[in-house]
Chain A
Amino acid sequence: MQEAELHDLSDDADYAASQQEGSASMMRCYSSKLSTSSETEGAEIVYLKDNVAIHPTQYAFERISGRLKLIKQGSALFMTWIPYKRQSTNAKLSEKDRNLYTIRAVPFADVRSIRRHTPALGWQYIIVVLSSGRNRLAFPPLYFYNGGVREFLTTIKQHVFLVRSVEDTNVFLLNDFQNPLQRTLSSLELPRAVSIPSMPSTPALPRESTSHENQERTDVGISDVSASIPQYNGKRRQKFHDPARDISIQVLEKFSFVTKFARETTSQLFRESHGNGFRPLERRKSNQSDDYSHKPSDDAEGVAVQSPVAPDPVEVYVCSLCQLIALCNNASAHLSMESVLGHGPTGTWFSTSIPGNLMPTSILVEQKVPYREHNRDGEAATNVGTFELISYKEFDKLSLVWGKPRQPPLGLEEWATFLDSEGRVVDSKALRKRIFYGGIEHKLRKEVWAILLGYHTYESTYAERKHQRSIKKTEYETIKSQWQSISPAQAKRFTKFRERKGLIEKDVVRTDRSLSFYDGDDNPNVNLLRDILLTYSFYNFDLGYCQGMSDLLSPILFVMEDESESFWCFVALMECLGPNFNRDQSGMHSQLFALSKLVELLDNPLHNYFKQNDCLNYFFCFRWMLIQFKRELEYEKTMRLWEVLWTHYLSEHLHLYVGVAILKRYRGKIIGEQMDFDTLIRFINELSGRIDLDATLRDAEALCICAGEKGADCIPPGTPPSMPVDNGLLYSQQDEVL
């Protein structure tokens, strides 16, 4: 029975098809080896789970169910996941799709970590990250419809060395040769061509010639890469590298979610070049010391002198995707890639060369051996062979675009489809998602903003909203009358009121006066700004008035065109952003702190740069955070950004990721020009009016997804615009100036 099962594996129609298509050259190595040796040694299925599925897209009908197995053969453990043949659930699933996702006998010697995810709703799933030296791959998440994750892990533990990460209890590490002796021993083992299971995760010998070529190169990006290699190895030797803390792994895990399109593209590429049958691992020679001792001069001077700009870790990964797609679109066979972004047993998932989160390299695109003439275009020696480099200049062009393309704004007709006959929003999440990706047409803003901001609930009907408007109007008038009824004689004895009023009056005439809506002498809208702000300072007397509030109110009044409506929408906005204006600046400090932590997570080299240059207070981003980029974008774009932020679709703190996205866009310039605090703050100020909102939003989306829970952990509780914790007193202000 067990042997029959095993034979099933190689006799599987999918497998045969893949052989024909040649979509998995590496796989062939594993599988043939497996089936060959099975004849002599026998193999045993130690774990079998049905209804383990992958979700290539968000649509349920495109989910692919299959059977997950652990197979023990000799001392080695393998994992397979074979999708069920065409049946029941997904008739649409093509043969190609099935091949794309099939996992064929991956030896656990190649697995670096397994992360277990237990969502509050939905199925438990795992993400398996492979490690082939510097080439890492992540399989798509495997969803256990029938449970069994625990059993799966327990079974693995019985057969291979599996440890739970200290940092993250949901991460299980394999093959982490922490012990130097153990690593040395493992590096002495024979190459995998001879012995499959005992593949050491050590870099191999680089080719001498290429390293010399690199030395002569003047291109900064390229020398940077070669320089980073020894440094990387040095780091790895010194420090236990825990994947739970390793952003690169997390990013890889995130990439395991990338769209079907990208997977197909990769797969296609892989197939095109497969015929050559080049396998980098065959060239591997496990000689660690040689690897990190090559080009010693780089350690001394190369890093500092030749590569002032450390590469952007996330960009490296994200660009790999861009590059991939760009390559597919480019029919030119000139490069004739063996593969893009490395090999894997399935040849479909993403892999990059990742030296940890400290000094990532450029994307390395593997080059075929026969194409020696490409050397002049730049090559770098790595453990896996010779790579052609895509220079950083090309990356600049590609830049960081990974988020989904922006959509046209939500229009009237489409808006109607989100409502039931009485005006309730039927699916608020779908609506928020729609607005997240496209924003709202201006004429519709008046209606939708009130809901997005929480002034009206999603469940409210037309009639209820109308009713609320009239009630709230009365309420507003009541609050307004509180300050309107203050007589001159009373005001004379009410310093705080006089000061507040004076400040607001001074500021409303300095708010967006270049807009026709607010321009000219005695503009009634300017008076409305004043009245609303003064009324707000009575409604929320503890917070009072602070500069920046008029900037936040201005677009709201512009959209709502009604005093009371604008007031209540402003109140709703200030429920979230109010702490930005705390007298002690605590809200702003937590914003800037969160921003710095996110940069630390998503761009460690940039973070280190800021650290070295005493810029970690992030005051250069103060205006961004305080008024949510209002002064950085044109008026229309500000409104677009805000409605996207207000959806709280991916995160309620998307504005922080927007900040990170902009910083990352200019990281090369910031680091390259060695900007100090003063220069940086002037530079950031001058970006005003020059920010491409759509591209930035896409970057922000990608970064937010990349950062995942780790990103959320960077943001201290209560950081605006989190909803305030209701503990009675909202703002405890010192009775000081205003």
Chain B
Amino acid sequence: MSYAYLFKYIIIGDTGVGKSCLLLQFTDKRFQPVHDLTIGVEFGARMITIDNKPIKLQIWDTAGQESFRSITRSYYRGAAGALLVYDITRRETFNHLASWLEDARQHANANMTIMLIGNKCDLAHRRAVTTEEGQQFAKDHGLIFMEASAKTAQNVEEAFIKTASTIYTKIQDGVFDVSNESYGIKVGYGGIPGPSGGRDGSSSQGAIIVSFVENYGEEKWRKYGELIYNFMVY
């Protein structure tokens, strides 16, 4: 799969807040409550489209238990975005946000975009953290905020995509030097649409590009892709 950009995401937060479920809902569009608990790290990936450009999200889903923090810290390196998750029905998971944030600030690059997610908002009747508290925390720490439910899929897509478009805007604004991969961004095919729009289906344009890459290789695509793309557009 080719992409204009690849963003590395990391999902962090206390154990049992629903990190893996959010990932699964985003990548597979399903909710599976009985998956195995995460040891170390698990991975997911999905293509999204922002500003008509295919962007690949490579998502690191980490283990939440306190003991594993020292390992988790090594995963921040080169992450462009982070989803910091708490469980709205468990107050302590909200209380621990500050320490997660501290880890993130310390071990990730300063421009990492952080999305705060209050998960399990389908369980409103057991709510232990109000929406306002979440909003306030996000505001205080310069985070984007959403409440979501991995179970009902509410806001899951939005959370991942909103994070990506924030990163994308930062690229457009020149905040990142995209040639430096330590920002968690990789450029594919010179930042123009790749051969496929990913799971959103490939357009006929995409199909042409796929065949070009298959026949002439990525190298040539980088060289001539822009030209071909312009030709197709006009």
Contacts and interface: CB of A to CB of B under 8 A. Distances in A.
A738 B41 contact: no
Interface string A321-341: 000000000000000000000
* Residue of A511, A551, A623, A686 ringed by the most chain B CB atoms within 10 A: A623
Interface string B28-67: 0000011111011111000000000000000000010111
Contacts of A514: 34
A737 B37 contact: no
A548 B8 contact: no
A507 B38 CA distance: 10
A622 interface: yes
B230 interface: no
B77 A547 contact: no
A520 B36 CA distance: 14
B39 A631 contact: yes
A583 interface: yes
A519 B36 CA distance: 12
Nearest to B64: A547
B97 to A, nearest CB: 15
A681 interface: yes
B67 A622 contact: no
A664 to B, nearest CB: 21
Nearest to A507: B37
A551 to B, nearest CB: 7
A67 interface: no
Contacts of B191: none
Contact of B41 (A547, A550, A585, A685): A685
A513 B32 CA distance: 11
A622 B71 contact: yes
B39 A627 contact: yes
B67 A585 contact: yes
A617 interface: yes
A585 B70 contact: yes
Interface size class of B (residues with CB under 8 A): 20 to 34
Contact of B40 (A546, A623, A737): A623
Contact of B78 (A626, A678, A685): A678
Nearest to A677: B77
B68 interface: yes
Contact of B63 (A512, A547, A550, A678): A547
Contacts of A626: 39-40
A506 B67 contact: no
B40 A550 contact: no
Contact of B36 (A512, A685, A736): A512
B39 A551 contact: yes
Given A547-B65, A585-B67, A511 B40 contact: no
- B interface, over-half SS: loop
B135 interface: no
Contacts of A440: none
A623 B65 CA distance: 14
B130 to A, nearest CB: 22
Contacts of B67: 546-547, 581-583, 585
B23 to A, nearest CB: 14
B154 interface: no
A9 to B, nearest CB: 64
A550 B36 CA distance: 10
Contact of B43 (A503, A506, A511, A685): A685
Nearest to B40: A623
B74 interface: yes
A489 to B, nearest CB: 20
A62 to B, nearest CB: 48
Given A583-B67, A622-B71, A506 B16 contact: yes
Contacts of B15: 503, 506-507, 547
Contact of A510 (B34, B43, B75, B78): B34
A623 B78 contact: no
A677 B75 CA distance: 9
A481 B3 CA distance: 58
Given A511-B37, A585-B71, A678-B8, A685 B42 contact: yes
A737 B66 CA distance: 8
A86 interface: no
A273 to B, nearest CB: 47
Interface string B129-160: 00000000000000000000000000000000
A511 B74 contact: no
A622 to B, nearest CB: 5
B76 to A, nearest CB: 11
Contacts of B40: 619, 622-623, 626, 685
B185 to A, nearest CB: 13
A33 interface: no
Contacts of A617: 74
Given A513-B34, A677-B77, A682 B68 contact: no
A471 B98 CA distance: 49
A510 B75 CA distance: 23
A557 interface: no
Nearest to A617: B74
B43 A682 contact: yes
A358 interface: no
A548 B77 contact: no
A571 interface: no
Contacts of A738: 66
A513 B65 CA distance: 20
Contacts of B75: 681
Contacts of A511: 36-37
Interface in A630-667: 631
A519 to B, nearest CB: 8
Contacts of A510: 34-37
* Residue of A547, A548, A627 ringed by the most chain B CB atoms within 10 A: A547
A512 B37 CA distance: 9
Interface string A499-519: 000010011011111100001
A55 B105 CA distance: 63
Nearest to B72: A619
B193 to A, nearest CB: 25
Contacts of B65: 503, 546-547
Interface string A275-294: 00000000000000000000
Interface in A110-166: none
B34 A509 contact: yes
Contacts of A509: 33-34
Contacts of B8: 678
Given A585-B71, A737-B66, A738-B66, A550 B37 contact: yes
A589 B35 CA distance: 28
Contacts of B68: 547, 585
Contact of A623 (B33, B35, B39, B43): B39
A618 to B, nearest CB: 10
A494 to B, nearest CB: 15
B74 A619 contact: yes
A737 B67 CA distance: 9
Contacts of B70: 585
Interface string B174-186: 0000000000000
B80 to A, nearest CB: 12
Q: What are the 6 A-B residue pairs with the smallest beta carbon separation, nearest first?
A: A510-B37, A623-B40, A513-B34, A506-B16, A547-B65, A622-B40
Given A509-B34, A511-B36, A547-B65, 17 more contacts: A503-B16, A503-B65, A506-B16, A507-B37, A547-B37, A547-B63, A547-B67, A548-B39, A582-B67, A585-B70, A588-B71, A619-B74, A622-B39, A626-B39, A626-B40, A631-B39, A678-B77
29 contacts: A506-B15, A506-B37, A510-B37, A511-B37, A519-B34, A546-B65, A546-B67, A547-B15, A547-B39, A547-B63, A547-B65, A548-B39, A551-B39, A581-B67, A585-B70, A588-B71, A619-B71, A619-B74, A622-B39, A623-B39, A626-B39, A626-B40, A627-B39, A631-B39, A677-B74, A685-B40, A685-B41, A685-B42, A736-B66
Interface of A: 503, 506-507, 509-514, 519, 546-548, 550-551, 581-583, 585, 588, 617, 619, 622-623, 626-627, 631, 677-678, 681-682, 685-686, 736-738
